[in-house]
Amino acid sequence: MKMRAGYSIFLLILSLTVCNAGKLSNTFYKNTCPQVEKIVREIIQIHTRNNPSLGAQLIRMQFHDCFVRGCDASVLLDTVSNSKAEKEAIPNQSLGGFDVIDDIKAAIERVCPKVVSCADILALAARDAISSPFKKSMWSVQLGRRDGRVSLATEISGNLPSPFANFTSLVQLFKGKGLNVNDLVVLSGAHTLGDSRCGAFSRRLYNFTSKGDADPSLDPTYAKILRKKCPNPASPAITVEMDPGSSLSFDNHYYDILLQRKGLFVSDAALLTDKNSNKIVTRLQRSRSLFFTAFAKSMKKMAAIGVLTGNAGEIRQNCRVVNPGKN
């Protein structure tokens, strides 16, 4: 009986271990690399002093990573041979911040070699770059992701939200990632940061309905301003703030401009074409604290899309290349 009881306890412990191996956790590196969050935070603080747009760069990089193959740091991989990596695809050619991830990875490897994944580093770095001006973490990041070994530019199409997408297309895409309409509206709030090349929205300014006109859903006065900034044809060298006057501040101002019909992309304006989505926009516009709380919840969901855990994937030693010696 004692042997059976002991064996049963052993099986229970083994079962719990196997179950927990596949889960993300706030304390994943507690015993193996307890300094990881401190290291990331300190390096991000240094970089944000010199680059105030780093938050916009890294949160966008995380979105683009998680929406293709899940949050596995595949967006960080460089092209190998003739197979172009994700970062070579047109929507990703404007991504920035890869050097910052390299700096963080190198620092962590010196302290905790072969322990912390690039996917976890990206999740922490994006959070901390956004949080830096607030002097506190704006959301918690669960850890335990492992890194993927595949990165293909051909997989970008159909996985990343297009700036030209209508509401139905956006909902379908987000649903396929395990995200709902609320997540769609909340995460779109990240457009309060950063800027965009004219080519991503110039179609709204010129001959939108084949009559030489602008998109009627865009405020006409704002359309005139944008046409002055973005001549036709669009120049890849010209960029425009996505949230005019607030592109370096993480706040709910995006919803103000959205309700003023000044959202830059077709996909922004699309959020007002659905009754439920429109209500969410209005609620978030009225309360910055509500937006922060909602963004934290949606980021937790987004950052868990398709994660590799347990023995899946690997822990890259260099975020730009897969580890040698595996097929």
- Identify the pLDDT of residue 81: 86
- Identify the pLDDT of residue 116: 98
**179 shares its domain with 149:** no
**237 shares its domain with 126:** no
**The overall pTM is greater than 0.85:** yes
- Contact predicate 304/120, CB 8 Å: no
Q: What is the pLDDT of residues 42-76, one digit of tens each?
A: 999 999 999 999 999 999 999 999 999 999 999 99
- Identify the pLDDT of residue 326: 59
The whole domain housing 260 covers 167-302
**pLDDT higher than 80, residue 197:** yes
Is position 86 annotated in a ligand binding site? yes
What is the number of structural domains in the chain? Answer: 2
Is position 243 annotated in a ligand binding site? yes
Q: Pick from 140, 131, 114: which is nearest to 32 by CA? A: 114
DSSP per residue, 220-279: HHHHHHHHHHSPSSPPTT-EEESSTT-TTS-SSHHHHHHHTT--SSHHHHGGGSSHHHHH
Average pLDDT, the chain: 92
- Identify the pLDDT of residue 10: 42
**188 shares its domain with 280:** yes
**137 shares its domain with 173:** no
| Amino acid of residue 74 | S
Instruction: Let me know the angle formed at the C-alpha of 186 by 180 and 191, rounded to the nearest 5 degrees.
Output: 125
Is position 133 annotated in a ligand binding site? no
CA distance 51 to 97: 10
- Identify the pLDDT of residue 22: 62
**pLDDT higher than 50, residue 19:** no
**56 shares its domain with 83:** yes
Question: What is the CATH classification number for the domain harbouring 291?
Answer: 1.10.420.10
State the catalytic residues. 64
Q: Pick from 118, 262, 119: which is nearest to 201 by CA? A: 262
Q: What is the pLDDT of residues 120-145, one digit of tens each?
A: 999 999 999 999 999 999 999 999 99
Decide if 107 is inside a domain: yes
Decide if 285 is inside a domain: yes
- Identify the pLDDT of residue 251: 97
- Identify the pLDDT of residue 156: 97
**48 shares its domain with 127:** yes
CA distance 41 to 125: 7
Is position 74 annotated in a ligand binding site? yes
Is position 161 annotated in a ligand binding site? yes
Is position 65 annotated in a ligand binding site? yes
N-term to C-term CA, the chain: 47
**52 shares its domain with 144:** yes
- Give mean pLDDT, residues 302-322: 97
Domain boundary among 130, 155, 180: 155
Q: What is the pLDDT of residues 240-293, one digit of tens each?
A: 999 998 999 999 999 999 999 999 999 999 999 999 999 999 999 999 999 999
Quote the crossing angle between the two packed helices 181-188 and 288-302, to the nearest 10°.
Answer: 110
